[in-house]
Protein backbone atom coordinates (compact mmCIF):
# COMPACT_ATOMS: atom_id res chain seq x y z
CA UNK A 1 0.00 0.00 0.00
CA UNK A 2 1.43 3.39 -0.95
CA UNK A 3 1.64 6.35 1.38
CA UNK A 4 -0.92 8.21 -0.77
CA UNK A 5 -3.62 5.58 -0.13
CA UNK A 6 -3.34 5.68 3.67
CA UNK A 7 -4.97 9.16 4.14
CA UNK A 8 -7.74 8.27 1.69
CA UNK A 9 -8.53 4.95 3.37
CA UNK A 10 -8.38 6.56 6.81
CA UNK A 11 -10.92 9.17 5.70
CA UNK A 12 -13.26 6.51 4.32
CA UNK A 13 -13.05 4.49 7.56
CA UNK A 14 -13.78 7.57 9.68
CA UNK A 15 -16.84 8.41 7.55
CA UNK A 16 -18.13 4.85 7.80
CA UNK A 17 -17.72 4.92 11.58
CA UNK A 18 -19.74 8.16 11.82
CA UNK A 19 -22.72 6.90 9.82
CA UNK A 20 -24.68 4.20 11.64
CA UNK A 21 -26.23 1.38 9.64
CA UNK A 22 -29.78 1.93 10.93
CA UNK A 23 -30.63 5.63 10.51
CA UNK A 24 -34.42 5.65 10.40
CA UNK A 25 -35.21 6.90 13.92
CA UNK A 26 -38.09 9.34 14.23
CA UNK A 27 -37.64 12.08 16.79
CA UNK A 28 -40.29 13.45 19.12
CA UNK A 29 -39.10 17.04 18.61
CA UNK A 30 -37.20 18.69 15.75
CA UNK A 31 -36.26 22.13 14.45
CA UNK A 32 -35.58 22.87 10.80
CA UNK A 33 -34.51 25.55 8.40
CA UNK A 34 -34.57 25.49 4.62
CA UNK A 35 -33.72 27.87 1.79
CA UNK A 36 -34.63 27.84 -1.87
CA UNK A 37 -37.15 29.50 -4.12
CA UNK A 38 -40.66 30.82 -3.72
CA UNK A 39 -43.09 31.99 -6.38
CA UNK A 40 -45.83 34.12 -4.88
CA UNK A 41 -47.07 35.21 -8.33
CA UNK A 42 -47.68 38.71 -6.94
CA UNK A 43 -47.50 41.16 -9.86
CA UNK A 44 -46.27 38.24 -11.99
CA UNK A 45 -43.22 37.92 -9.76
CA UNK A 46 -40.78 35.20 -10.89
CA UNK A 47 -39.23 32.64 -8.56
CA UNK A 48 -37.29 34.47 -5.83
CA UNK A 49 -35.23 33.48 -2.81
CA UNK A 50 -37.34 32.17 0.03
CA UNK A 51 -37.00 30.04 3.10
CA UNK A 52 -38.74 28.23 5.90
CA UNK A 53 -38.05 27.87 9.61
CA UNK A 54 -40.08 25.64 11.87
CA UNK A 55 -40.52 23.01 14.54
CA UNK A 56 -42.46 19.79 14.78
CA UNK A 57 -43.44 17.60 17.71
CA UNK A 58 -44.34 13.93 17.30
CA UNK A 59 -47.30 12.89 19.43
CA UNK A 60 -48.27 9.48 17.97
CA UNK A 61 -46.65 6.58 16.20
CA UNK A 62 -48.61 3.84 14.41
CA UNK A 63 -46.01 1.35 13.21
CA UNK A 64 -43.97 3.12 10.53
CA UNK A 65 -46.33 6.14 10.45
CA UNK A 66 -45.43 9.11 12.64
CA UNK A 67 -48.05 11.78 13.36
CA UNK A 68 -46.76 15.19 14.42
CA UNK A 69 -47.80 18.81 14.80
CA UNK A 70 -45.82 21.28 12.68
CA UNK A 71 -45.46 25.05 13.05
CA UNK A 72 -43.53 26.99 10.43
CA UNK A 73 -42.78 30.41 9.10
CA UNK A 74 -42.39 30.85 5.34
CA UNK A 75 -40.39 33.91 4.35
CA UNK A 76 -39.91 35.52 0.95
CA UNK A 77 -39.46 38.92 -0.63
CA UNK A 78 -43.20 39.65 -0.85
CA UNK A 79 -44.76 37.38 1.75
CA UNK A 80 -44.38 36.21 5.33
CA UNK A 81 -46.60 33.34 6.50
CA UNK A 82 -47.15 31.67 9.87
CA UNK A 83 -48.66 28.20 9.48
CA UNK A 84 -49.60 25.28 11.75
CA UNK A 85 -51.05 21.82 11.20
CA UNK A 86 -50.67 18.05 11.18
CA UNK A 87 -47.68 16.23 9.67
CA UNK A 88 -47.73 12.58 8.60
CA UNK A 89 -44.37 10.87 7.96
CA UNK A 90 -43.46 7.36 6.88
CA UNK A 91 -40.27 5.91 8.40
CA UNK A 92 -39.51 2.37 7.26
CA UNK A 93 -36.64 0.35 8.78
CA UNK A 94 -33.51 0.32 6.62
CA UNK A 95 -35.07 2.67 4.05
CA UNK A 96 -33.06 5.92 4.04
CA UNK A 97 -35.86 8.26 2.87
CA UNK A 98 -38.75 9.43 5.05
CA UNK A 99 -41.52 11.00 2.94
CA UNK A 100 -43.97 13.32 4.68
CA UNK A 101 -47.16 15.22 3.93
CA UNK A 102 -48.79 18.18 5.69
CA UNK A 103 -51.91 20.28 5.43
CA UNK A 104 -51.21 23.49 7.32
CA UNK A 105 -53.12 26.71 7.81
CA UNK A 106 -52.50 30.15 9.22
CA UNK A 107 -52.03 33.71 8.04
CA UNK A 108 -49.97 35.40 5.34
CA UNK A 109 -48.93 39.01 5.23
CA UNK A 110 -48.12 40.11 1.70
CA UNK A 111 -47.60 43.01 -0.67
CA UNK A 112 -49.66 43.38 -3.84
CA UNK A 113 -46.77 44.98 -5.74
CA UNK A 114 -43.33 43.41 -6.06
CA UNK A 115 -41.17 44.42 -3.06
CA UNK A 116 -43.91 46.74 -1.76
CA UNK A 117 -45.07 47.09 1.85
CA UNK A 118 -46.76 43.99 3.29
CA UNK A 119 -50.06 45.73 3.92
CA UNK A 120 -52.45 42.81 3.36
CA UNK A 121 -53.05 39.89 5.73
CA UNK A 122 -55.28 36.93 4.92
CA UNK A 123 -55.95 33.46 6.20
CA UNK A 124 -54.36 30.76 4.06
CA UNK A 125 -53.53 27.09 3.88
CA UNK A 126 -50.84 25.07 2.16
CA UNK A 127 -50.26 21.51 1.09
CA UNK A 128 -46.71 20.47 1.85
CA UNK A 129 -44.83 17.38 0.75
CA UNK A 130 -41.24 16.38 1.01
CA UNK A 131 -38.63 13.88 1.99
CA UNK A 132 -36.08 13.74 4.82
CA UNK A 133 -32.99 11.57 4.79
CA UNK A 134 -30.54 11.12 7.63
CA UNK A 135 -27.03 12.39 6.91
CA UNK A 136 -25.65 12.23 10.48
CA UNK A 137 -27.15 10.97 13.74
CA UNK A 138 -29.96 13.41 14.71
CA UNK A 139 -29.48 15.41 11.48
CA UNK A 140 -31.58 15.07 8.33
CA UNK A 141 -31.37 16.72 4.95
CA UNK A 142 -34.79 17.87 3.72
CA UNK A 143 -36.33 18.61 0.33
CA UNK A 144 -39.66 20.42 0.75
CA UNK A 145 -42.36 21.58 -1.72
CA UNK A 146 -45.44 23.59 -0.75
CA UNK A 147 -48.46 24.82 -2.70
CA UNK A 148 -50.76 27.56 -1.40
CA UNK A 149 -54.27 26.23 -1.81
CA UNK A 150 -55.84 29.26 -0.15
CA UNK A 151 -54.39 31.64 -2.67
CA UNK A 152 -54.04 35.41 -2.75
CA UNK A 153 -56.63 37.60 -4.45
CA UNK A 154 -55.07 40.23 -6.69
CA UNK A 155 -57.06 42.13 -9.33
CA UNK A 156 -59.84 39.51 -9.24
CA UNK A 157 -57.28 36.74 -9.90
CA UNK A 158 -56.38 34.14 -7.29
CA UNK A 159 -52.65 33.49 -7.07
CA UNK A 160 -51.29 30.28 -5.50
CA UNK A 161 -47.84 30.68 -3.91
CA UNK A 162 -45.40 27.79 -4.26
CA UNK A 163 -42.03 27.06 -2.70
CA UNK A 164 -39.28 24.54 -3.27
CA UNK A 165 -36.63 24.52 -0.55
CA UNK A 166 -33.88 22.36 0.87
CA UNK A 167 -32.18 22.42 4.26
CA UNK A 168 -31.45 20.72 7.56
CA UNK A 169 -33.57 19.13 10.29
CA UNK A 170 -32.10 18.72 13.78
CA UNK A 171 -33.91 15.99 15.75
CA UNK A 172 -33.91 15.82 19.56
Contacts of 11 (CB under 8 A, 6+ apart): none
Q: How confident is residue 56, by pLDDT bands cut at 50, 70 and 90?
A: very high
Q: Report whether 10 contacts 18 (CB < 8 A).
A: no
Structural domains present in the chain: 24-171 (2.40.160.20)
pLDDT tens digit sequence for 120-165: 888 899 999 999 999 999 999 999 999 998 877 777 778 889 999 9
Q: What are the angstrom distances between the C-alpha of 14 and each of 38, 135, 169?
A: 38, 14, 23
Residue 102: is its pLDDT beyond 70? yes
Amino acid sequence: MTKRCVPFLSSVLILLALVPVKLHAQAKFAVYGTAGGEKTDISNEPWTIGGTVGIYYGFARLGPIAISADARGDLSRNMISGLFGPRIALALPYFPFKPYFEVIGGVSSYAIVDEGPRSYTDGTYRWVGGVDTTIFPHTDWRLDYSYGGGGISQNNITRHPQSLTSGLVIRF
